[in-house]
Structure formats: structure tokens, C-alpha cells
Amino acid sequence: MKTHFSITAIVLLFSLHAVAAPFSFRDTRDELIYRQLLKEFPVEVKGFDQTKEPPEVVAAFSADWAAFISGKRPLPPKWLEGYSWSRYLNAFLFEGSSAPLKIMPDDNERLKVKINTTAAHSIEDAAHYSEERVGGEIAKALQQNKITASIYGGTKESVANALKVDGKQIKYLPSPYDAWGIHKAYIPSTATLDKKARYLMVIPPSRQYVIHYAAIFNFLNINVENAILNHTDQRRQVERLRLEFQRVALQLPAPVDVLALGYYNVIQENKDGLKAISPEIPMSDGLTVQMIEETRIADKPVRYLIIKSDMAIWGESSSLMVEAAMSLKPRAVVFMGSAGGIRETTRHYDISVPSSFQLGDRTIDIKNAAMEGMYAVSGPWRSTVVDVKHGHTNSPIEQTKAYVEKRVNSQIDSYDVEQNLIAETIAEYNKKAAMPASFIALNLITDKPSSYTHDWKSDHDLSRVNKELKADARRRAVNLALMSVRSSATISKALSTITCDRALLP
């Protein structure tokens, strides 16, 4: 007869010493710094979207956690089961370190990130923005103790060898952002060759994400010793997702005509000619997909694979996900997302339709099929700006007023962190594909970063959102995207063409 124990029952079998084991260090200073870093956990729990408990329960946990990390009393075992944060506590207390993964010298690319911390910034309170992303308690601990940071875009298994530290001594911090693939840790002085402690963030292998976090730490005057992207880990992630999309294809009733990113729930709620023809299919990395069919086109229904992400990393990393999903051979890719408008051409909650996509000084060789679709149907389109020039930014924190001014002078109307990378991914795919995929790109202007010539004054920004206006804009974006697919002659022709690659798909 098998006996099953709950987590709580197992915890009760542990002595107080066993529960306190994560605080054991060879150097007292390392222990004090680590305990200080742990103050951030209840702050993250309180602000995390998936925390469902009422404020008084979170407050009770916070009080018990403060007593626990200060050594006043053990943590009550009730918190280890049944709460939104219980899984992260269990991982913190009971999971061992991962076996180190061997890496090759050319796996890692060291990125150089430099931010002017004294220049006038387009974000009204850039310091507050940065502390919210890093964690106020963590920022304070690193600043007070003069601890440098390492940002690693890769996996927990490869980080020790990449940084040349003793992986067994890396002390990970509990965090709800573990679910997003963001892992925070302290590397004690005894684990490093130079006997200096480090703060570590292991994040998904995305160049933009590494740059984003390195820039934030720099802005807070926390020295970033390493900003590393592991290319092998990135390729593994793409290949793993590619296999997952192939698994999804076997569960779908028809080939994917259009891949749709953005406003998943809005598409689901749109009953005007749309219906679900598959259940929601969960994937790894917080992704969920569903096939939606539009039947308003008389001769052929259009099948959309809509994609939802529960992880914020699929902003900066979305081009990698699209690269994997292109194995489904879609005829078009729709992207709808938020962007910053930096010139007079756009207003808050406008829908902007780019006609060109800029990466640095070059224009990506791809057209926006939304333009073709809109020209085929008479307007006017409410609060919609057509024929804009769309740029790219790595992170809001790099957007000083001088940075924005330079882009204004380049006639760029809007920018975001992901759209142009997706455009480039599709352009590269089209060079080799039997049937090129069209790209439909729509932006919802959610903020207006200021420059020297345009100091926008508004009640709306990234921290102050009018939910009704934003919801209305999202619905308009979805309707415009659907219309663009229906009206584009290029997409219509592609949908009616059968090629060998799609004939092999389910």
C-alpha cells in the first residue's frame, strides 16, 4: 500500500534547522546581504498578477516572512501549500541546484550596454520605473553593499560555467517571476575566483531582454559586470518551440492560414463571423493557442491560429516564438501591440499602420499588408493613422529625450520593442519559403515619449491607462486586422494556392 504525504506533512517532518538551511553561508556578510535581498519576495507577491489572495492574507504572510528572514522565528508551514506563492517557496526551500551544463567558448556573447544616467529622460520618473522592474529592496541592497550585477540570457544549467563560478553555491531567491523564466540569485563571495559577491539574473535567452535589464541596472548606478547572451540556449529554445508547434499542428482540424499575435481575448470575444474550431491548446513557456475560423469569405474560410502568452518575456522575445511558429507555413502573420508615438502624427489610443519598418539605419524588406487591405476598402477609419514610419527600441529606459529627439529627426513616428524584429524574422523566412508569408502590423499608441521638441502633456502614459479607451482601441485593431486579411489580394491569392509544404501538414 502506497502512502502519500502532502507538502505540509513533509514540512512538518523537517526540523527548524532544515527549514532555515537556505541561510547557511561561509561568510557572515554574504548571509546578511542575502537576507536583505529576500525582503523583495513579499513585495513581488503583492504586486503579481496571479496573486489571488486578499490583502490581509498577503499582509499576514509578509509579516511571517519578515520574521523568518530576520531569524526571529521559523516560517509557519501553512504557507507552503495552497497559496499563490507556495510553489515558489517550496522551490526555494527544498529544490537542489541543477547539474551544470557544459558550454563552448563561442556560446556566449558579451553585450555592452551604456546608459546616460544624468540626461533628461522621456519617462517622468525613470528611477521609479527602474526600481519597479528590478525590485526596490533588491536595488537598495545592491547599492548599499556595492554589489555588481550579472545578467545572463540563458538557462540555470549553463550559467555557472558561463560565469566561471561554483554553481553549488549560487543561492536563488524565491520569486513569482520564476514562472516567466526570470530567476534571481545571489552569488556569495566564496563562489567566485576574485572572492567578490555578485547579484545574478538568469533570464530567457533574448538579446533585447539582456539589454533591457542591463540598462535598468546601469540607470540605477549598479555596475553590470556581465551582460551575456547564450546563443546555444537561444537556439535550443527556438527548436523546442518549433517541435511544440508541430505537435500542435497534429491536433488542429486544418492547416494554419494566419498566425495572429496580440489581443487574444478580444479575438475570442468577437462573434461577428468568427468561431472556435479547436479547443485551447496549452504549450510550454506560458503559451496557449486556439484555432479560430472566419467564414465571411464566400469561397474559403480563413483559419487563424491565435496565440496567447502569460509571460511578459514574449514581448522582447516574440520574434523567436514567431521563428518557431513559421514551421506551420502560415500564409500571413498578424501582429497587434502597443507602441510609443513620438511625433504629432499619432495621439493616445490611435491605431497606427506602418508602411515601413526601421532597424537602426536600415529599412526591413517587407510590406505591411494592412496597407493593401485598407486601400481596397473605403474608409474613413476612426482614430487610425496610416502610412507611418515605425522604429525599434530595446527598452524604455534607454529613451532619454536626446534618444527620442534623434528618432523624431529621422521622421520615425512610433516605436516598440518587438514589431520590427518580427518583421525581420518573416522577411528572412520569405527568402527561403515556397510561398512567402504576408505581414499585417497594427500599433495601439499607449504612450507619448517626450523629446526636446515635443514635451507631451497628458493624463495618459504607461502607468495611467484609460481602460475603456484602450479596450475600444483593441477592438478596432482586431476588426481592422480581420478586414485587412479579407481585403488583401496578396493574401487571398496565397490562401487559394496549394503548395507541397502545406500539403504535408495535417
If we measure between CA atoms, which residue out of 181, 207, 204 comes closest to residue 395?
207
Where do the domains of the chain lie? 7-232, 252-503
**What is the C-alpha to C-alpha distance for residues 68 and 306, in angstroms, rounded to an integer?**
44
How many residues belong to the chain?
506
Give DSSP secondary structure letters for 233-254: HHHHHHHHHHHHHHHHHHHSSS
**pLDDT score of 462:** 62
Q: How far is Cα 356 from Cα 334, in angstroms, rounded to an integer?
A: 15
β-bridge mates for residue 198, sequence order: 148, 187
User: Which pLDDT does position 31 carry in this prediction?
Assistant: 93
Q: What's the confidence (pLDDT) of residue 68?
A: 93
The pLDDT of residue 453: 86
Question: What phi-psi label fits residue 135: left (phi over 0), alpha (psi between -120 and 50 degrees) or beta?
Answer: left
Q: Burial of 194 by CB count in 10 Å (0-12 exposed, 13-18 middle, 19+ buried)? A: exposed
Q: How far apart are the first and last CA of the chain?
A: 45
Do strands 148-153 and 108-110 pair parallel, antiparallel, or not at all (unpaired)?
Answer: unpaired
Cell digits of residue 273: 463571423
Using CA atoms, how far residue 262 sits from 5, 291, 305, 469, in Å, is 42, 14, 11, 17
Three-class DSSP category at 347: coil
Q: Give DSSP secondary structure letters for 327-375.
A: GG--SEEEEEEEEEE-STT--TT-EEEEEEEEETTEE-S--BHHHHHHH
Q: Grid coordinates in use for 500? A: 507541397
Model-level pTM? 0.88
User: pLDDT digit of tens for each residue in the chain (506 aa)?
Assistant: 444 444 444 444 443 443 554 677 889 999 999 999 999 999 999 999 889 999 999 999 999 999 999 988 889 999 999 999 999 999 898 876 666 677 777 789 999 998 888 899 998 889 999 999 999 999 999 999 999 999 999 999 999 999 999 999 999 999 999 988 899 999 999 999 999 999 999 999 999 999 999 999 999 999 999 999 999 999 999 999 999 999 999 999 999 999 999 999 999 999 888 999 999 999 988 899 999 999 876 568 899 999 998 876 667 789 999 999 999 999 999 999 999 999 998 899 999 999 999 998 899 999 999 998 888 776 677 889 999 999 999 999 999 999 999 999 999 999 999 999 999 999 999 999 989 999 999 999 998 998 998 887 766 666 677 889 999 999 999 999 999 998 888 888 888 776 655 544 54
Matching CATH number, 252-503, of 3.40.47.10, 3.30.230.10, 3.40.50.1580, 1.10.1060.10 = 3.40.50.1580
Residue 300 per-residue DSSP state: -
Q: Which residue has the cell 504576408?
A: 438
CB 376 within 8 A of CB 492: no
